């Protein structure tokens, strides 16, 4: 009887021990980081590691990516499943989109950048100084990254973006053993959703609290500007986009760009449309619907009315053109010609919104100097 009791006690002890080892929830309780506006990622923070989940690395992605961000010597549950492990805080990195640069700079992490594909696209003065000092290496092109240079740099992580599941450069990088993770900030449909991806970089750099504070400040400024715009009784009509190969490409009404126009208290004439990418319209169709539109914003690569008319004299039929109410982001560029709107804009939607309010409702924001949107010369 004593032997039987002893056996049961031992089996009971082993059963409890095995149960505890296999159930990671019993070891640590994670705290979910508050993500207010972004839909494409989530972060669960534990004592010395975090789980970063990227839901939409590209549009219509079938499966999310799970990344383990672990401090050195962190104890990780044996049953934890993930796609890639990255040691944090990251000390060196490669990013592949100019939209990543402003987040690094806001967190004072730009000096961790060691490589980038297409250095001339970067506009920021702070990062350009690092480039001029030889601290950031050229990696070629996103679709064909120079893996030899990348291996020599040996970054802690490569942060990539992709339009679909097929990216040979990133597949090659992963084979080298260098950690590669996807950033899907560009898939977000709302201005504040894009801006909140600074928390993605906060998790990598160990500056989660600072990232939260920065986003909170941006969001508060955006919401204040939106409320200010509502005080205007006038709601001007607006069109956007531009011609390319005989087609006028116009943002859909549910797009990131259209949301700014709505929040600036203006009437976007294509607000009732929905879809991904851009509307592709015949010139005659746009002329019929938008000839009397009061403003035309985001007019492609045009920087002057002369360029506009060299393209076609038919543009003169638009009221916005005749009254010199055409605004372009292509007039604001960096030292090497990169358009600052495409770099800084997604991280600072508050500045974009203020630009548009100053255009549509000039009496609401007096003596305002636009950051991105400038009138054609």
Question: Same topology for domains 27-218 and 231-375, yes or no?
Answer: yes
* Phi-psi region at 338: left, alpha or beta (left = phi > 0; alpha = psi -120 to 50): beta
Q: Report strand pairing: 144-145 vs 140-141.
A: antiparallel
3-state helix, strand, coil in the chain (%, to 5): 40, 20, 40
Q: Which residue has the tokens 């531009």?
A: 242
Cα distances (angstroms) measured from residue 113 to each of 9, 131, 132: 57, 10, 13
3-state secondary structure of 216: helix
Please list, residue by residue across 182-198, b when 16 or more beta carbons sit within 10 angstroms of its beta carbon and e when fewer do.
bbbbbbbebbbbbbbbb
pLDDT at 244: 84
Tell me the C-alpha distance between 196 and 120, whole Å.
26
Cα distances (angstroms) measured from residue 161 to each of 61, 90, 109: 12, 18, 19
Identify whether the C-beta of residue 17 lies closer than 8 Å to the C-beta of residue 4: no
pLDDT at 12: 41
Tell me the C-alpha distance between 37 and 17, whole Å.
41
Q: Which structure tokens are listed for 112? A: 């961790």
What are residue 211's DSSP bridge partners? Answer: none
Identify whether the C-beta of residue 299 lies closer than 8 Å to the C-beta of residue 329: no
Tell me the C-alpha distance between 164 and 31, whole Å.
31
User: Does the domain made of 231-375 have the CATH classification 3.40.50.1980?
Assistant: yes
In the chain, where are the structural domains located? 27-218, 231-375
pLDDT at 28: 59
Task: Give me the long-range contacts of 60-67 (CB less than 8 A, separation at least 24).
Answer: 61/165, 61/184, 62/165, 65/181, 65/182, 67/181
pTM: 0.90
Q: Which fold has domain 27-218?
A: Rossmann fold (3.40.50)
Low-confidence ranges of the chain (pLDDT < 50): 1-27
């Amino acid at each position: 009887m004593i032997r039987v009791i002893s056996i049961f006690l031992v089996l009971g002890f082993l059963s409890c021990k095995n149960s505890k080892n296999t159930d990671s929830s019993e070891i640590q309780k994670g705290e979910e980081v508050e993500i207010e506006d972004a839909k494409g990622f989530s972060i669960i923070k534990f004592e010395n590691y975090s789980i970063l989940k990227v839901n939409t690395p590209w549009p219509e992605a079938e499966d999310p990516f799970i990344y383990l961000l672990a401090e050195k010597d962190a104890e990780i549950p044996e049953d934890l499943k993930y796609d890639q492990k990255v040691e944090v805080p990251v000390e060196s990195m490669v990013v592949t989109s100019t939209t990543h640069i402003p987040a690094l700079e806001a967190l004072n992490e730009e000096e961790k950048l060691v490589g980038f594909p297409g250095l001339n696209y970067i506009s920021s003065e702070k990062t350009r100084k690092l480039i001029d000092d030889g601290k950031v290496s050229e990696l070629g092109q996103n679709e064909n990254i120079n893996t030899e240079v990348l291996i020599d740099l040996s970054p802690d992580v490569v942060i990539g973006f992709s339009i679909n599941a097929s990216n040979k450069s990133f597949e090659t990088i992963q084979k080298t053993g260098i950690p590669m993770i996807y950033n899907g900030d560009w898939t977000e449909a709302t201005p504040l959703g894009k801006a909140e991806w600074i928390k993605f970089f906060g998790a990598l750099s160990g500056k989660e609290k600072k990232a939260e504070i920065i986003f909170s400040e941006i969001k508060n400024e955006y919401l204040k500007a939106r409320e200010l715009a509502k005080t205007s009784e006038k709601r001007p009509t607006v069109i956007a986009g531009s011609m390319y190969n005989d087609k006028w490409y116009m943002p859909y009404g549910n797009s990131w760009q259209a949301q700014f126009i709505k929040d600036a208290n203006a009437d976007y004439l294509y607000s009732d449309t929905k879809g991904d990418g851009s509307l592709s319209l015949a010139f005659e169709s746009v002329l019929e619907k938008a000839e009397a539109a009061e403003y035309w914003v985001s007019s492609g690569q045009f920087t002057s009315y002369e360029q506009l008319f060299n393209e076609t004299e038919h543009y003169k039929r638009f009221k916005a053109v005749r009254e010199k109410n055409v605004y372009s982001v292509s007039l604001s560029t960096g030292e090497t010609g990169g358009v600052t709107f495409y770099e800084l804009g997604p991280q600072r939607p508050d500045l974009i919104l203020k630009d548009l309010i100053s255009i549509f409702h000039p009496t609401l924001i007096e003596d305002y100097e636009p950051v991105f949107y400038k009138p054609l010369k």
